[in-house]
Amino acid sequence: MAKDNAFYITTPIYYVNDVPHIGHAYTTIAADVLARYWRLRGREVFFLTGLDEHGQKVQQAATKAGIDPQAHCDKLAPQFEQLWKKLNISNSAFIRTTDPPHKSVVQRYLQQLYDKNLIYKDSYTGWYCTFDERFWTEKDVEHGVCPDCKRPVEQLSEHNYFFKMGQYQDQLLDHIQKNPSFIRPESRRNEVLGFLQTQKLGDLSISRPKSRLSWGIELPFDNNYVTYVWFDALVNYISALEYKLATPSVENYWPASVHLVGKDILTTHAVYWSTMLMALNLPLPKKIFAHGWWTVEGEKMSKSRGNVVDPNKMVDEFGTDAFRYFLLREVPFGQDGDFSQAAMITRVNSDLANGLGNLLSRTLTLIERTQAGQVPAPEAIGPLEQELQGAAVGLLNETLPHYFAQLEFNRALESIWQVVQLANQYVDKTAPWTLAKTDRDAAQLKTVLYTMAETLRFLSLAAYPVIPKSVQSLCTQLGLSVDFADPILKHKIEWGGLKPGTAIHKGQSLFPRIEKQPGAKPVTESSIPSQPTPFTSTPSAPQVPPATPQITIDEFMKVQLKTAKVLSAERVPKSEKLIKLEVSVGTEQRQIVAGIGKKYEPDALIGKTIVIVANLKPAKLMGIESQGMVLAAGDADVRGLLTVLEEVDPGTKVK
């Protein structure tokens, strides 16, 4: 059995013929986040991913290309390894099923099952799907197509070897019922239970005749056959422990802590793999977690539709950490999700740029301007400081351990950003830029700035597993020397770890805002034109702009434009355009109703410094009083808010 301190996390091994897409990235990023988090908690982590390189599709593709199947695999494998580097994946090992040591382990297990009379030879006639490389029964196939991939099937009659999977049905059913966390989420567990409780589990064909398929691992007891690709692939989870570490470590890491899989391969893992392990007298994995699929703007991803999201292009356009954050924040892990570029831009701008990035920028700017670039020592703390301190400490020591243990990534990130929002609200309430104006507030200013900086230290530890590169930049700018390879979270994190006098090093913006034209298309394979669009010139009459009414300077001077800091924002019920804002205008707070709801989500506005007409007569919109007007750019529709580049006090006049 695995050591108590071990944490073994796996992804499926991806099919080498596939082009890496958002689904591959999603599973692997989730596994990486778990690996990074449990390393911080002091667990001995082994994180495995890799490639499935055998089977009929590989053989056919290699034949079509006129090359050896192994050469074909060697050519394709780097596309996955390079993507994992680009996505900052910290896997411990990368397995390929063409590795000779893996083949040896597969053959050893086949021989063990054969010697135990758990594998037998028999004739078989059935409908075969080349794409899925599996047989279907007559009742499964309708209209001559595979029930899974909807491709045509062909009827085959041949002799094959079968694994006595059916005799383990009751044992597997009992295990699932006694171990509620074995298959997650609950909906997937119920699917497998329903299948096992209502259908008789048949035996599994685990061979293919070489006359039809030669590219595979040869059966040790009959060299006229190769093994079924799934029997080969599933064994990788144990074979890697025998040869991918300095010394064989099956006893240290098995059973696996978590197998992460897509919901389409849950049956192969929950049923095929589990019964294989039972037959080999090996423990079953502790958890099999099946996540959902991604659609693109409401449509299923497919090459024919041209809407397959390319992770490489996403990283090039938005950055690694922004992509990692979006995938895990947008939908609960286990449910299906819908990808759109607009949704990602909103997340990046509201959560990363306006949230965490803004908090870091404000903190560093104020420390640089008022404390000669050094973190000050705090003085007496009050209720606001105690509230923020309690939230930060509770986040690291209580909230996140629960969510990460349950693989509730979106809830974990939601809780982190609640502290980010609380910290930005703390800044607005304490107004350190105002405290800096008088010497009598110097002590309070130091307390506020230290509280801001120390909160950022807690947030860096919390967010590191998801956005590691950005957190390392945050720590550098804050003057922190943190080795994230150390088990930092093994013990409770106490408030006050940031030493006063630490010199900051303000750098580039952590998350620059993304400005996109409306109607931007997702970054997919088909969104990159194969050739430039030819330029055509059509003469047309010159466009004469309409005359603009003019006003005098005296009339303009009557309008009072001021900066305002958005403290809170919420949609007005029954209106898709109106958002109610609470803003600080320096000496007072105001309520303003603005028609910007089609362009912005309320959360994206909090913390922004905007420009308002401060002396506009109050008016009621949808029954809600508006005490001013927000300035925005756009003709028929709002294209963007007027903001200021530098940090200025709320209430500053705009000239």
User: What is the Cα–Cα distance from 636 to 650, expressed in whole angstroms?
Assistant: 29
Q: Which two tokens stand for residue 586?
A: 């320096």
pLDDT in tens, 390-417: 999 999 999 999 999 999 999 999 999 9
Distances (CA, A) of 190 to 186, 195, 221, 270, 331: 6, 8, 38, 12, 21
pLDDT-flagged residues of the chain (< 50): 517-519, 525-546
Share in percent of the chain as helix, strand, coil (round to 5) = 40, 20, 40
Residue with tokens 């309690």, as numbered in its chain: 390
The predicted pLDDT at position 597 comes to 84
pLDDT at 529: 37
pLDDT tens by residue, 313-369: 999 999 999 999 999 999 999 999 999 889 999 999 999 999 999 999 999 999 999
Contacts of 151 (CB under 8 A, 6+ apart): 129, 130, 131, 145
Give 164-203 pLDDT, tens digit per residue: 999 999 999 999 999 999 999 999 999 999 999 999 999 9
* 57: its two tokens: 């599709």
List, for residues 41-83, the tens digit of each pLDDT value. Answer: 999 999 999 999 999 889 999 999 999 999 999 999 999 999 9
- C-alpha 184/C-alpha 169 separation (Å) is 19
Q: Could you give the maximum distance between any two Cα atoms of the chain, in Å?
A: 99
Domains and CATH numbers, the chain: 6-291 (3.40.50.620), 342-490 (1.10.730.10), 553-641 (2.40.50.140)
Sign for the pseudo-dihedral over CA of 315, 300, 338, 402: negative
Q: Which string of DSSP letters, residue by residue, matches 451-479?
A: HHHHHHHHHHHHHTTTSHHHHHHHHHHHT
pLDDT number for residue 539: 37
- Please give the Cα distance from 356 to 367 (Å, whole number): 17
Is 104 within 8 Å of 232 (Cβ atoms)? no
- pLDDT of res. 636: 61
Q: What b-and-e string marks burial along 107-139, b requiring 16 or more CB atoms within 10 Å of the CB?
A: bebbeebbeeebbeeeebebbbbbebbbbbeee
The pLDDT score that the predictor gives to residue 299 is: 82
CA gap 376, 378 in Å, rounded: 6
Name residue, tokens 């494998």. Answer: 77
